[in-house]
Amino acid sequence: MRALICGVSGQDGAYLARFLLARGYEVYGTSRDAEVRSFGNLARLGIAGQVATQSMASNDFRSVLQVLSRVVPDEIYNLAGQSSVGLSFEQPVETLESISMGTLNLLEAMRFLGKPMRLYSAGSGECFGDTGGARATEDTPFRPRSPYAVAKATAHWLVANYREAYGLHASTGILFNHESPLRSRRFVTRKIVAAACAIAAGSRERLTLGNVDIHRDWGWAPEYAEAMWLMLQQSHAADFVIATGQAHSLASFAEAAFRHFNLDWHEHTDSSPGLFRPADIAYSCGDAGKAASVLGWRPKWSMPQVVQGMIEAERSSDTAAA
């Protein structure tokens, strides 16, 4: 089997590449300019030399068509595009183009080539907006509250349209928050873990956060990579919510990270209104019941285990650097 991972340099792309390689796949991965990209996440997982990289601009139809024609993959995993909710408020056009147009170009190229390819498209629990204390299912209406969520919602409906209109095997995984040591420090979870580790090691730095009352459904990214693969092994394409079903506040995440070192997070943290988003989601949580019954997928890690795993990796990398 041959897989093409669009956006292989990111957190999800790297873990998915490792997962597929372990199952004997021939793995290709794309980046906008593969010749100058370092692919640091692939290197961290020890698989950089096992992934054949390709340059592809997902918002350029000719570029997408050329790569699909050259690789002719059995499975396509669309993980490309701007991945930060906060940054999408500052770069709304790039966010919409990279996510929605990138998805459309892949779908149209698949239709044009007429090959038996299967597509996984990365959706987001952000599309649901505030779930009001409830768990969102595949039937919960979308109420996006950021340019990122609007772009993901657009991509979701493009996948559904091409699946119904042209019979493409195309599925969207509606993934809620999922974290790992491969997250960059612009993501608040990695920012918290890095600060807790540094302060425990003697740093006098302060951790600055925005709204700590938001609640999110945090899972473990490597587990979510398996869910992506499982979707494409089904005889019929469909959309699936992937989540833990448990929501925790950002304050609880910070408390868990600092408690690992017997520290009180309040004593080392400041709040800045400048880090509040123009529109945010108070409560976000998913119900992966359909994934459990159809795919046989269930999460094993909850938020405290995610924090523990990230801290262990952070301390290991700090030790190696020293």
- Give me the active site residues, please: 124, 126, 148
User: What amino acid occupies position 303?
Assistant: M
**4: closest CA among 37, 66, 40, 52?**
52
Cross-strand partners of 160: none
Cross-strand partners of 173: 122, 240
DSSP letter at 180 equals -
| Cα–Cα distance measured from residue 178 to residue 10, given in angstroms and rounded to the nearest whole number | 13
Buried b (16+ CB within 10 A) or exposed e, 130-163: bbeeebbbbebebebbbbbbbbbbbbbebbbebb
| Cα–Cα distance measured from residue 291 to residue 95, given in angstroms and rounded to the nearest whole number | 28
3-class SS at 74? coil
User: What amino acid occupies position 142?
Assistant: F
Q: Locate the DSSP E strands across the chain.
A: 2-6, 26-31, 52-55, 75-78, 118-122, 169-175, 178-179, 207-209, 215-216, 219-220, 240-242, 248-249, 269-271
